[in-house]
Structure formats: C-alpha cells, structure tokens
Chains A and B, each alone.
Chain A
C-alpha cells in the first residue's frame, strides 16, 4: 500500500506513519487464526452446541451493533428500526436458500443441486443484504428529504410494516414463521463436513468491520462525521449531504440484512416476532453500550451483551426489566458508553504498534 495517512484523531501531527510488515499482516493473520480455532472447535466438539450457538450470536450481534453505529453513532441520526432490516435479510435469504437448495412442502424440490449450497450460501446471505439495503433506500428517501427528526418515526413505522407484511404473507408461513434453513445448512455439511455456520458468522462479522472501517476512514466516508458534527457546514463545504446519508443508511441496513440472514440460518427457523421493536431496541442498547462512533466499542458491547442476554435467559421476560435498568445505570454513570467515540487503539495507543486495520 502506498502512503495512506488515515489519520486517527490522536496521532500528534497527523503524519503518515508507514506500517511495518507485522502491523500489516497481524489482522489478516488473526482472522485466519480465528477461523482455524473455530474450525477446530466445530470439528472436535470441544465446545457444546450451545456454546457454539452463543459464539455465532456474538458474531451476528457484532454485525448488528457495528452497522447501526454507522447511522446512530458516526452520522448522529436516530434510526430505531434495525430489526426490520434484519427481517428483510432473514426472510429473503431463507426463502431463497430453501427454494434453491432444499426440498420443501410448499416450494417443492430444490431448483439447484443441494451441494451447490456450499457456494450458494454466502451469496444468498449477500442477496438478503442487498434486499435490506433496498428497503433501506425506501426508508431513507422520504426520511432525509425533509429536514427534522423524521428518521426515528419512519424507521419505527418501517419496522412494523415489515413485520406485519410478513405476518400476512401465508406463502412464507405468516406469523407461524418459516423453516427449512436447517436443510440448507445440512446440505453444505454433506458437501463438505465443516462447521459452516461458525465460519460464515465469523467471516461476515470481520467482513462487516472491514467495510465499515474502510468507509469511515476514507475522506468520502468522513463526510458522514462532518454531517454529524455540523450538517449545514458539511453541505456548504461541498458534501452532498443527502446522498451521503442515503449511502450510509443503505450500507447500514444492508449489513443488518446480512446479520438477519445469518441469524435465520443459525437458528434454522424465523418468525416475524424475532425481529420486532424488541430486536431493534437490543441493537440500540449495544450501540450506546459500546460507544457512539466506535467500531471496537461495538464489538465489545456485542460480545458483552450477548453474554448478558444468555446469562439472563432464565429470567425470561423479566430480563426486559433488568436490561433497561442496566441501560439507565449506564446512562447515569458512563453516558458515553464503554469506549466513548474512541477506538480501542486510541485508549491503548500501544496497540497501534501491533496492528493496522484498514
């Protein structure tokens, strides 16, 4: 890479420091190592199926919180219907997957040989993401055209619209939900026996962070932060604020769709209830817990929040008293979230010696 000064706020003179080979390769190496560990975990049975599922939920939540952070943290808008976009991605990829790779009562025999799911799976997840991004476009156009805080209201409405649309679509199971994704996952396993869902969840989480990081640290993407800090100045200093907001919102909702698609295939079953306002609230909690405008904060909070949800699972519905309480305490004692708007490497500058993530 040529001299690429993606200056982070704290570097003293903003000088373009050259990265060493170690810095450059540590993140890819770590990613590969992560995949290797997961591979071993899945094959050896060292962890129970339950623990594996929790790990996959962590990855999904990383995608959810990091993608919502782009809009609510970096851009300073208030979107609260992330669950709706997850639903779009979940249903589109699930239906597509079952249609193409699995035998189904309603849809009949698979359209393609099931073993093709091996390559088909990431593609259907991405198609789910694209569908969610298009849904995001539909929401973004009316929300950002007018001045004022319409985004919050429109995203909540969109969340409800998606849910009730699915509830009323009997072909895909209506409110009973939709299943058959286990067969798609099994088809992958039959073609090549690897813990595919573990690998793909991790892979897509890294993919999400990688895209967001590159977006946000380009001069192009920094337009989003300019909008957050002074929208009028951004527009007058040549940032096409409207297009910028739509682009960021589509990216965010598209990634939520990817998360939805993964979630559906991890659980093997989706119903509209899983993607209601409660899901959107979880996403918001993770963003505020981690810190607005901090990707590493979003990762941390997604991991912690997933563990918390699992720990509180026995409490069932009561957890929705405990979680808001925690949120209130957080707002009281650390309103900026775990990392504020800083990255882990800003808090521990020494980390910079070891990696370069871009």
Chain B
C-alpha cells in the first residue's frame, strides 16, 4: 500500500488559489522531491498534509486512511513528521528536551503519573530519555544534548530539527528545504545523511528543495508545481529536460 496518496488536493487562501488538483502517490521507502519557484505552493502542500490547514477540496490518504481534517498532533501520532523551512526548534529548551518532547504522542502516562512519579512514569521517562540520547548519538549530536538550540550554529540547528522529527518515529518524513542556508560542505553531508536516514530509519521521505543538485541526486521521482498547478512530474532526467519546467524557471538561474 502507498504511504501517502493525495488526490485532487486544492487549497484556497480567501480568493487566492494556492494549490489546485495535486495528485501524488508516495511508495514506501522512496525519496521524492517537490520543487517549484518561490510562492508556488510547496510549503502549503506540507501544511495541508501535516494537518495545519484543512484542505478546501481533495483527499489525503496516509497508509490508506483519510487524514484530511485531523489535527496536526493526530496526524503526527499516526507517523508523519516534518521539519520547517524556517527552523522552529524550541530555542530555550535543551536539545535533549526538544527530542524528548517530540515523543508526546507515545508518552504512555498522564498527569497523575507525573505528579505521583509512579513506576510507569519512571519507566517511561527512562525509556524516553534513553531513546532521545541514542537518537542524538546516532546522528552525531550527542555532544550538544545539553545545549540550547539558540546557541548552536545554523547548520547544527537544522540537524537538531531533523533529529526532533525522527524522534516522532515517523513512517513519512516531510523535509521543507533542508539544505536552505547550508554551505557546500554541509550540503554534501546532508545528501549522505538523508539517504542514510531513509535506510536506517526505514522511512519514506518527501522533500521540498531549491538546491537542484540535492533533489536531482537524491530523488527518484520529482513533482514540479508553479502557481499551485502541477506542471511536470517524473524522474530527475525527465524533469531536467521538460520544457514547461525550464519555462517556469526561466530567469531563475538555479536549473
């Protein structure tokens, strides 16, 4: 079964049609790209999938279940995690806390347990903590566990945000411009990282990215949107030579 199936997804902001008739199917374990010029509606797609907006029309099926209309935390609990175009870490909580809090949907204890420090609470907190530390270790972030994100360099913040998304234990990971603001060396590392994450965490990845080399290198399938309309979709090779795409990016020297 497809991880994500989007049919006829359409969204209006007042009179502005930010997205129209988007159709996409993501198969398990794939790396897919979503590209398009500025303001094309890419982030809107992610916001719709993560439940931040309720779509004006259309269907979003995650693992066969229609998730359109669910609240964001419910969508996340089902196994959809994301990062943000502008990093949105909790800047005054430690990196470790950032990772721990993203396990809220599977805490397994409640208010009374927390106040009374029941056995269940202590067991789960220990597990949550161990999981978070291991995740940081695996992503080579162990040394910043006690730091506040606001004190970290930009590249590390991006990495921590990725770690936080993985802490959800997602089946589908949405990355909104993971390479934005990174230098060339960081971008190379990111490419290796993303591929490795897909295999290590057995997760399906859908990414928005402006760096064409990143998308072309990583993605087996790419969708291009412009003004909310899907103008092309196919393999990197097909996209590279597609006249409509070249047209949309004309004047945009990125492709």
Contacts and interface: CB of A to CB of B under 8 A. Distances in A.
Interface of A: 1-5, 7, 9, 11-16, 211, 214-215, 218-223, 225-226, 229-230, 232-242, 247, 251, 341, 358
B110 A220 contact: yes
10 smallest A-B Cβ distances: which pairs?
Answer: A14-B146, A218-B114, A238-B105, A233-B88, A238-B76, A229-B90, A237-B102, A238-B104, A239-B104, A14-B96
Given A225-B93, A229-B93, A233-B84, A4 B100 contact: no
Given A214-B117, A218-B114, A238-B103, A2 B168 contact: no
23 contacts: A1-B122, A2-B122, A2-B123, A7-B94, A7-B146, A11-B146, A14-B94, A214-B114, A215-B114, A218-B121, A218-B125, A219-B128, A220-B111, A222-B97, A223-B101, A225-B93, A237-B81, A237-B104, A238-B73, A239-B101, A240-B104, A241-B73, A247-B111
B99 to A, nearest CB: 10
A286 to B, nearest CB: 22
Interface in B69-102: 71-73, 76-77, 81-82, 84, 88-94, 96-97, 100-102
A220 B97 CA distance: 11
A65 B126 CA distance: 31
Contacts of A225: 90, 92-93, 97
A310 B9 CA distance: 65
Nearest to B167: A237
Interface centre among B82, B123, B145 (most CB of A within 10 A): B145
A9 B144 CA distance: 12
B206 to A, nearest CB: 15
A223 B104 contact: yes
Contacts of B249: none
B86 to A, nearest CB: 11
Interface in B37-77: 50-52, 71-73, 76-77
A223 B73 CA distance: 12
B103 A219 contact: yes
A225 B101 CA distance: 10
Given A4-B122, A222-B100, A229 B111 contact: no
B115 A215 contact: yes
B73 A236 contact: yes
B148 interface: yes
A237 B128 contact: no
Kindly name the residue among A226, A233, A236 whose own CB sees the greatest number of chain B CB atoms within 10 A.
A236
Interface string B113-148: 011010001110110110000000000000101101
Nearest to B129: A5
Nearest to B117: A214
A11 B93 CA distance: 12
B94 A341 contact: no
Contact of A229 (B92, B96, B103, B146): B92
Nearest to A221: B114
Contacts of B50: 236
B94 A220 contact: no
A4 B125 contact: yes
A15 B129 CA distance: 10
Nearest to A232: B88
Contacts of B81: 237
Among A12, A230, A238, the most chain B Cβ lie within 10 Å of the Cβ of A238
Nearest to A225: B93
Contacts of B82: 236
Contacts of A4: 117, 122, 125-126
Contacts of B107: 219-220
Interface string B141-162: 0010110100000000000000
Contacts of B227: none
Counting chain A CB atoms within 10 Å of each CB, which of B51, B104, B129 scores highest? B104
Contacts of B104: 219-220, 223, 237-240
A270 to B, nearest CB: 29
Given A218-B114, A229-B92, A247-B111, A235 B71 contact: yes
B210 interface: no
A219 B92 CA distance: 15
A228 B125 CA distance: 22
A15 B96 CA distance: 10
